[in-house]
Amino acid sequence: MSTPILPARTFRRRPAPSLLVPPALRAQHRRRRIRVLLFLSPWIVGFGVFLAYPLVMTFWLSFTNSDMISTPHFVGLRNYRYLLHDDPLIWQAVRNTGWLMAVMVPTQVLFALGVAMVTARLKAGAGLFRTVFYLPALAPPVAATVAFVCLFNPSTGPVNRALGLLGVHGPLWFDSPTWSKPALTLLTLWGSGTMMVIFLAALLDVPAELYEAAHLDGAGPLKRFRFVTLPSISPVLLFATVTAVIATLQYFTQAMVASQTANGNIQASPGFPGGSTLTFSQQIYVAGFNQFHMGYACALAVVMFAVAMAFTVVLLRRGSGFDIEEAAK
């Protein structure tokens, strides 16, 4: 090594003290960096091929009339204009997705938290109950949805029969525009075992001394929950909410399978009954894969990405217990 002057770029990027590092050590650093890069390269390739490239292409295709078969032509903002002014079903899809976010997400978080709190306190049979509540999360979404729709069949399903025995006139569930989304919410609650397990772990992590101290200070169960439990688990609560919001924005499989199973018609258009279960991501699928409007589907996907990003950022900034400044460091 006989070159004392480093190239300008390197000089600017490196902090000054590195100039004082002996050449041998510098070579070692460099080798280490190369090794790190090499080990990272599968991820870099994967990131490029499966994330960065599709993202860029999606953004570009959203300004074209692509059908993914013939050569796409640039059409400017036409797809976005269609989204805002002309798409007959998109606002219904937005409303449905909004309903799911406003009702399904909080219900799911509260339900999972409630179950976790109960199972965390259990003295006997805790393992059994935790298993029982977690089990539904293992069922494949399609199978679980089909089974659920059959259970809730208004005329032959056992749920309405049981309700009938109690003298309750059961609703049409998946066959009624009013009840289809609540029925989907029940399905989500039934399958929220993963969230429950995360809450359970967080709850069991809260130091017992804090509860003892609060108890000594005269705090009742509600106050203990408000001032001990909640602050301790708030990062987990935030994580669960953010992931649930993103999952709901992309809600697809259950709504698709439920409407097709309930309708029983092979040519069913998604959203049965009456468009009540049509979600934003279903509309992307229909536009792109059934109607040859891939350009428009890409525009929808871009909007969904932006909305998911906005929700995540807002939630993370608002969420107590998760300091974004701290995270940045």
Q: At closest approach, how far in Å is the CB of 317 from another protein?
A: 33
Assess contact for 83 and 93: CB atoms under 8 A.
Answer: no
Cα-flanking dihedrals φ and ψ of residue 53, to 5°? -65, -50
Q: At closest approach, how far in Å is the CB of 181 from another protein?
A: 15
Show contacts with another protein in window 1-60 (CB under 8 A): 1, 3, 6-7, 23-24, 27, 30-31, 34-35, 37-38, 41, 44-45, 48-49, 53, 57
Paired with 64 in beta bridges are: 74
Assess contact for 280 and 249: CB atoms under 8 A.
Answer: yes
At residue 92's C-alpha, the angle toward residues 89 and 93, to 5°, is 85
Q: At closest approach, how far in Å is the CB of 82 from another protein?
A: 6
Total residues at interface with another protein (CB under 8 A): 68
Map residues 92-131 to x or -, x wherever contact with another protein holds by CB under 8 A.
Answer: x---------------------------------------
Stretches 85-93, 212-220, 224-232, 317-325: which one binds another protein (CB under 8 A)? 85-93
Work out which of 62, 108, 153, 279 binds another protein, going by CB under 8 A: 153
Work out which of 65, 96, 180, 248 binds another protein, going by CB under 8 A: 65
Map residues 212-241 to x or -, x wherever contact with another protein holds by CB under 8 A.
Answer: ------------------------------
Q: Which is nearer to another protein, 192 or 276 (CB)?
A: 276
Taking CB under 8 A as the rule, does residue 74 contact another protein? no
Taking CB under 8 A as the rule, does residue 76 contact another protein? no
The torsion of the CA quartet 289, 291, 294, 300, rounded to 10 degrees, works out to -90
Work out which of 103, 206, 219, 268 binds another protein, going by CB under 8 A: 268
Q: At closest approach, how far in Å is the CB of 117 from another protein?
A: 37
In the numeric block, which tokens belong to residue 141?
């979404």
Stretches 110-118, 202-210, 231-239, 293-301: which one binds another protein (CB under 8 A)? 293-301
**Residue 227 vs residues 114, 210, 240: alpha-carbon distances, Å:** 17, 10, 20
Map residues 154-193 to x or -, x wherever contact with another protein holds by CB under 8 A.
Answer: xxx---------------x-xxxx----------------
Binding stretches for another protein (CB under 8 A)? 1, 3, 6-7, 23-24, 27, 30-31, 34-35, 37-38, 41, 44-45, 48-49, 53, 57, 65-72, 78-79, 82, 85-89, 92, 153-156, 172, 174-177, 262-269, 271-275, 278, 286, 289-293, 295-296
